[in-house]
Chains A and B, each alone.
Chain A
């Protein structure tokens, strides 16, 4: 049984990422941020709290606390998952499963991230899995460094020139400048990019996702229920995932095989190809991930994405706009969640200055050790 338009995303909520970032003195709790996004999503959906009977918490380990805060004592479906970027798509897939199996009617997905308040560095002492110490013994840590490993090999294999990633950082920033809620909205030039410091060389500061506070929530329900809400409907046409599970984040084929596996299933289940997609939301923990995603999903041939993105093709007004709200490097680092919300807003025609005209199909892609993609459509 495929999902084909059986499940709708009816409510989305995001905190004001830019305003929160500018206030550096306030400590925020991830749970409070998630709850803010939840109430916003509820209002957006036109639903009441008591309509919700499923709860998936992400990066909020204590689902009991979340449920108690929002007054959801007895959900029929409840779990918490870790906050890693790959899990945002997985959360949507879990909600789809709960709804299609009849375990829940309306599922709230709640994500909260107080990375800036908590002083997160996403690397260093104490991070990583059971074998991380083999790597940290040499001073190797952080997902950015593991992606830098992939990019170093990629750029050598394909003779990629220096600064080839700059168009990706600039594309995100250009879009963020049209997004009043984005964190980073000052213009970014190639010179700015080139002058920025290396973090894990060859990756620079502007290749990296932000560290900021925010919450995101979504509400999913069956299309039967959604149809009664008298709002533009966004449905999931198809979704798929594949692991690339080794001891390392670094993939020796840049996630090509896992992307091809997902692409094959997500497109065939939808009866679509890349040509049917109007807008892309691509998980961009670091800029090279965008290149690997475009190649893996067949938008361009392996080794060519760095050329494919550089002449305005992925900007608003271009052939296929990517990360129209500013992505993780300029809008907000919400580990895929804000990209999901932007996909919905684009399909509803609510993207304001960022609106892709006649947007009917948006693809979300995450190329990571769990690679996943959805095709979302305006019903």
Chain B
């Protein structure tokens, strides 16, 4: 099952409501998925940080084919490609209304389970002070 293979620090973070990312101790580049060395400077020293949770929607699809018999998401379900504010890209899913998505939409992370495992999902970020306030 996937949860045994995902990095334990990443999974523990998600269970605690945090998006945990590795940051290189030498050049500060953030990376995802988990990896022992920095692809930028090749340093083996890193720290785990709590990412801001902010990101941008690069693209998304709707999966109509049932590739997984044991997945607790029903087709059609959305899958998103997100560029995190810290730099890395990741695959995730959109929580909430996914009928008005547009590339470049600002997102913010939430945590929802898939097959009982808490994972980072993303919601369309609301804009503070937007013109629709109070309407």
B64, B93, B115 pick with most chain A CB within 10 angstroms: B64
A131 contacts chain B at the CB level, 8 A cutoff: yes
Shortest CB distance A232–B (Å)? 44
Question: Which of A92-100, A198-206, A342-350 contacts the other chain?
Answer: A198-206
Q: What are 24 A-B contacts with C-beta separation under 8 Å?
A: A123-B65, A124-B68, A133-B5, A134-B6, A134-B90, A137-B115, A138-B73, A139-B79, A139-B114, A140-B91, A142-B65, A145-B63, A145-B79, A148-B61, A149-B58, A149-B59, A149-B79, A153-B58, A198-B62, A201-B61, A201-B63, A201-B64, A247-B32, A247-B89
B residues engaging A (CB < 8 A)? 2-3, 5-6, 32-33, 58-65, 67-69, 71, 73, 76-77, 79, 81, 89-93, 102-103, 114-115, 117, 119
Once bound together, how far apart are the Cα atoms of A140 and B60, in whole Å? 11
A27 contacts chain B at the CB level, 8 A cutoff: no
A279 contacts chain B at the CB level, 8 A cutoff: no
A124: B residues at CB distance < 8 A: 67-68
The answer on a CB contact under 8 Å between B89 and A252 is: yes
Q: Mark A98-135, 1 if CB is under 8 A from B, else 0.
A: 00000000000000000000000101110000010111
The answer on a CB contact under 8 Å between B33 and A134 is: yes
Per a CB cutoff under 8 Å, which of B64, B93, B115 touches A197? Answer: B64
The answer on a CB contact under 8 Å between B33 and A247 is: yes
A199: B residues at CB distance < 8 A: 64-65
- CB-CB nearest in chain B for A248: B89
The answer on a CB contact under 8 Å between B62 and A142 is: no
Query: Contacts A123-B67, A137-B117, A139-B68; is A250 near B81 (CB within 8 Å)?
Result: yes
Shortest CB distance A196–B (Å)? 11
- CB-CB nearest in chain B for A156: B103
Once bound together, how far apart are the Cα atoms of A150 and B90, in whole Å? 14
Once bound together, how far apart are the Cα atoms of A75 and B67, in whole Å? 41
The answer on a CB contact under 8 Å between A141 and B61 is: no
A198: B residues at CB distance < 8 A: 62, 64, 76
Interface residues on A, range: 35 or more
- CB-CB nearest in chain A for B67: A124
A residues engaging B (CB < 8 A)? 121, 123-125, 131, 133-142, 145, 148-150, 152-153, 156-157, 197-203, 246-248, 250, 252
Query: Contacts A134-B90, A139-B79; is A153 near B103 (CB within 8 Å)?
Result: yes
- CB-CB nearest in chain B for A141: B67
Shortest CB distance B61–A (Å)? 5
Shortest CB distance B82–A (Å)? 11
Shortest CB distance B116–A (Å)? 11
A157: B residues at CB distance < 8 A: 103
The answer on a CB contact under 8 Å between A139 and B67 is: yes
Query: Contacts A121-B67, A124-B67, A145-B79; is A250 near B59 (CB within 8 Å)?
Result: yes
Once bound together, how far apart are the Cα atoms of A142 and B68, in whole Å? 11
B60: A residues at CB distance < 8 A: 149, 152
The answer on a CB contact under 8 Å between A150 and B65 is: no
B32, B65, B76, B103 pick with most chain A CB within 10 angstroms: B65
8 smallest beta-carbon distances between A and B, as pairs: A124-B67, A201-B62, A153-B59, A133-B2, A137-B2, A135-B91, A198-B64, A133-B5
B73: A residues at CB distance < 8 A: 138-139
Apart from A124-B68, A156-B102, 5 more pairs, CB < 8 Å? A134-B33, A136-B2, A197-B64, A200-B63, A202-B61
B79: A residues at CB distance < 8 A: 138-140, 145, 149
Shortest CB distance A97–B (Å)? 28
Once bound together, how far apart are the Cα atoms of A149 and B90, in whole Å? 12
The answer on a CB contact under 8 Å between B59 and A134 is: no
- CB-CB nearest in chain B for A247: B33
Shortest CB distance B35–A (Å)? 9
Once bound together, how far apart are the Cα atoms of A190 and B88, in whole Å? 39
- CB-CB nearest in chain A for B62: A201
A123, A134, A142, A252 pick with most chain B CB within 10 angstroms: A134
B117: A residues at CB distance < 8 A: 137
Once bound together, how far apart are the Cα atoms of A26 and B62, in whole Å? 35
Shortest CB distance A247–B (Å)? 7
Once bound together, how far apart are the Cα atoms of A26 and B76, in whole Å? 33
The answer on a CB contact under 8 Å between B63 and A133 is: no
Once bound together, how far apart are the Cα atoms of A125 and B2, in whole Å? 10
The answer on a CB contact under 8 Å between A139 and B33 is: no
Once bound together, how far apart are the Cα atoms of A138 and B61, in whole Å? 12
Shortest CB distance A311–B (Å)? 28
Once bound together, how far apart are the Cα atoms of A370 and B54, in whole Å? 31
The answer on a CB contact under 8 Å between B89 and A201 is: no
Per a CB cutoff under 8 Å, which of B62, B64, B92, B103 touches A138? Answer: B92
- CB-CB nearest in chain A for B90: A134
B32: A residues at CB distance < 8 A: 247
